[in-house]
Structure 1
Amino acid sequence: MEIKEHNFFSNLAGGHSRPFIIAGPCSAESETQVMQTAEALREQQVDMFRAGIWKPRSRPNTFEGIGLEGLQWLGRVKRELGLRVSTEVANARHVEEALKQEIDVLWIGARTTVNPFAVQEIANALNGANVPVMVKNPVNPDLALWIGALERVYNAGITDVAAIHRGFSSYEPSKYRNVPLWQIPIELKSRFKKLPVIVDPSHIAGNRELLLPVSQKALDLGFDGLMIETHPDPANALSDPEQQVTPAGLQEILSKLQVRKTNYDDQELINRAEKLRLQIDEADQQILRALARRMQLVEQIGHYKKQNNVQVLQISRWKEIFRSRPDWAKELGMNPAFVAELYRLIHVESIRMQTDIMNKEEE
């Protein structure tokens, strides 16, 4: 994908002086609700109004969106209030109806992104259209699937594309509704440097109390914008009430956000940063030398296990490592969870090495 230097999304916001802001209710519920929200958001100078018209829900007999009537309400927001409008599409018919109403921007949701057939159907319907499209990450942490969905849309002739990071489902307990796994959107951004990446704090957080810290984290990492669900009466919203805020609540969040500089702008700061980077490089070399020595010891014990016909995986040793290393990390003032994850990777590689040794034919 060859993303344009200046596309629809970067042109709307104030460059890098502030993030691109998309706001509006999770679902369009009534014409009054839509117009009331849009009028309040226009006063806050948000860049685009969002509202779900068709809502994919996990279970039947829940509110699945207002449907076609809601598109007319979005059209009214656009005509009367001058706001750009956006909604989610999940199939070719949704695309066709949204284009008829001249919806400014479409987005593909996380549950659709997981299905390449569905994404291709949408891409085919978009062929020849002149509309920007945003693609949410798939429900599960699969970067290749996310990139594939973006490429399908791009190959249909839609060059104004953006990604939306809304977090990933997890069976592990978490304070988040969808764990952010920031390394995945960071990797996406590193591969496609000009691709706008907008963060959806509402779906990551799952509750309004976490919206501010998640939003600030997104800006600290240099992402391009925020999509925050906003409702005039969140407690009585027909979908996802816990993660929506009032327009006043949104204004409070935006007023507290700090936009960081993209780089150092003082020579002394540049020199100090470069000195610290050189020290980091040296520390990394020491880490890698220590890791190489550890792997040499792993190889030796692998040969010892083979000679004595002992299985590779020793559960007691596995448990000992994940019990002791986080404790060592605490003593050194480090994050135990980070160290546990690091040693999980190291131990998996150790098992792979020893398994190769076990199955290697003697020369």
Structure 2
Amino acid sequence: MSSTSSWSRSLLLQLFLLFLLLQLFLPPGLPHPQPCLLLQRIGHKVRVGALLPAQRGVRVRVQAALNRAVEERDNRENRDPEREKDRDPEMRTNFFLPYNLSLELVSRQPAAADPDSVLRCGCAGLGASGVSAVLAFPQNREELLQLDLMSSFMEIPFISVLEQGEPVQTQNRFHLQMAMAVPESALSALLLTVLHRSGWREGTVVLCRGWEEAGGLLSILDGGSSASWDGGSSASWDGGGGSEVSWQVRALLNLTQLAHDDTQIHDFLSKHFKHNRSSAAVLLFGSDPQCMAAVLRGAQDLGLTLPIMHWVLGQPLSPEALQNIGLPLGLLAYGPVEQNPLEFYVRDALQLVRRAIAAAVLLRPDQALIQNHVNCFDHKEALQTSGPYLSR
């Protein structure tokens, strides 16, 4: 009996010593991993705002793209996460949020396109709804600048989807600009760099119908004076490393006013190239395949081929049309050919927001899931929001 009691006391002493060692060398225990009270308060939903354009035609198109992107997201979320994870290891990260969270899209449209209406819609309409991020679709530079100011004031991440135009240069960490097309300034910089590295500091421009779509690009190429197109103008670009890339328009043939005239094309090419046997670059802009084919055919009839003449299509036609107009050797087709639909960019923007929320929630749910209502017109005291944390 005494031996049994002695053995029990020895066991208890060993367990007590083991407990003390665990307390000394192991870190304190963490709380329950799921922020239950916070999740219950927000209903397991994270709101994402959509600031729709005021123009009816554009708004209908944007809303349709949002609907398709949300429908695709819902279809994926209704699938079994574990089964989808087995099929695609990245599926769970891209489409499923932790703690059974889901995105709720809140759409608002301004009453008009004026700055005051857009500001009231963004601040009172979306900011007061407790959104964690905002998708916006600016239609001009003024709206883009206003969104940049609004996001900085509200301290909520804004993603502006740009269908056209140039992004603004900003240090605002709350504003991400997603361009659907390569900006015209970048296209002009690329073209000027290609011309410079090929040794062409000047060249000839031929305009066919449809060149107006590249008017902004030509304005930059022509040094900002494309309205005259009288030749003798020049363009320059910093090619990197402090060296300036320059190019000069030596002559121009405008075939946009009348139906293309083979005689006019022949006379122009003969005047500028037949007796000049040095290498030259010719930029051909337009979307009229018959006009472009006539210009290329005229040059071929005069024997103006490589290495004398190098053709650059500044605004390319479709690949099918290019094959049917008789392409000369060495032709460089330059510029955007096709563009993904708007819903692709909406889907990418939503996925970016989802990834940011998923990463933030796992680290600091108390900061990532704040849904305070922000009103620009009643900013008496700064309320803490999830924006500064999610914007990282």
TM-score (norm 1): 0.30
Higher relative contact order (CA 8 A, sep 6+): 2
More strand by share: 2
Higher helix proportion? 1
Greater C-alpha Rg: 2
TM-score, L = length of structure 2: 0.28
